[in-house]
Amino acid sequence: MLKKILFSVILTIMFISCATLQKDIDRFSLYRNKKAIVKDFSPGSPEKLETYISGFNLEELTAVPPETEPYRITPLEKWHISSDKTLTYERWAFKSSFFGKVLPGDALFYVIQQNKLQNNPVILWVPGFGVSDFAFRFVKNFFTAEINAGYNVVIYIPPYHLERQQKGKSAGSGLITASPLHNVQEMVNAVKELRMVYAYLKNRNVTTIGTWGGSMGGAFTLMLQSVEKVDSMGLMIPVLDWNTFITPDDLFPRYQRAGFTKELLTNAYRLISPVTYPLTVSPGRIQIEAAEYDQLNPIKDIAAFAAKYGIVDIKRYKAGHASILLNKKVYADYTAFLSGLLSGL
């Protein structure tokens, strides 16, 4: 029943171009996240956070053995797309010491493969917060575009989502908490999990590895390209600076009473913010899809990021952060971007 109600709401939004409504939906998402943090406000130790920051090195903390490979490969019985190509579907699981045997557990990837890995290109597809089986009915359009362009597709399942989601909890519940140290360590571990599959793909002699990252996934892929060679990037409403929204001003007094300063919190979230790291991918091989009414990643910040690095393929949609997937042009523009990549444009 809940899914039917949600689907009805989404269909309603599809026919409404009200900027205020779309902004309000984003603001509600921020309010809901803040409410979850306040409900169990355990920010941890500022001293431990300071120690972590002082010894931080992204490349070292996310390093994986070059011989890394999945310990379990099983058939994927869902997330199948319509295609006239012969496709195989697999689930790849990599051992992750960060969580151990407790959920979210091992690093997990869904794989849609049309060719052998060797001598063929791959898109490493990294979704944002809240990805679910329900979202598949929209995001499958990205996979179809990638398959049609000749890529194999490897899809990252973030912690606290899908099979890595705790029973009875909503998608993403537990990922972002009141503890900045927990939040930063979880995000850094996600980059390490991406490097696991990256190492495996390189060992299988794929020709190139491109990425697609949405929202939080955009932050992960931008961090990944600072430590690994990435051929191309599709970025949709990417989180560029977590400090923009993760610690609302009205929450700061609680942190202050627990011994945290604004500078300490800013420095912590800077560690996982793409604005901190260099861009190594050629600007001509990057596309950014931005939402005009986005309340999490302001359009002006995304435009400034694009201008700084000379990224000219930036698309703007009259949508909010939560509603951008409803715009069919998003998928058409991404399809055109992939065609340009393979034709050498």
Instruction: Return the CATH number at 98.
Output: 3.40.50.1820
What pLDDT is recorded for position 227?
Answer: 98
Range of the domain at 310: 2-342
Q: Which amino acid is at 284?
A: G
pTM: 0.92
The answer to whether 119 and 207 are in contact (CB under 8 A) is: yes
Classify 174 as helix, strand or coil: coil
What pLDDT is recorded for position 39?
Answer: 81
For residue 185, count other CB atoms closer than 10 A to its CB.
16
Classify 288 as helix, strand or coil: strand
Q: Measured between alpha carbons, how far is 128 from 94 in angstroms, rounded to an integer? A: 20
Q: Convert the pLDDT of each residue in 133-183 to its tens digit.
A: 999 999 999 999 999 999 999 999 999 999 999 888 889 889 999 999 999
Mark out the alpha helices in the chain (DSSP H runs).
Answer: 2-14, 19-39, 46-54, 58-61, 136-148, 180-203, 216-224, 252-257, 262-270, 299-309, 328-342
Banded model confidence at residue 14, pLDDT cuts 50, 70, 90: very low
Banded model confidence at residue 74, pLDDT cuts 50, 70, 90: very high
Structural domain total, the chain: 1
Q: Which helix (H) or strand (E) holds 153?
A: strand 152-157
In the chain, the percentage of residues whose pLDDT exceeds 70 is 93
Q: Measured between alpha carbons, how far is 112 from 146 in angstroms, rounded to an integer? A: 10
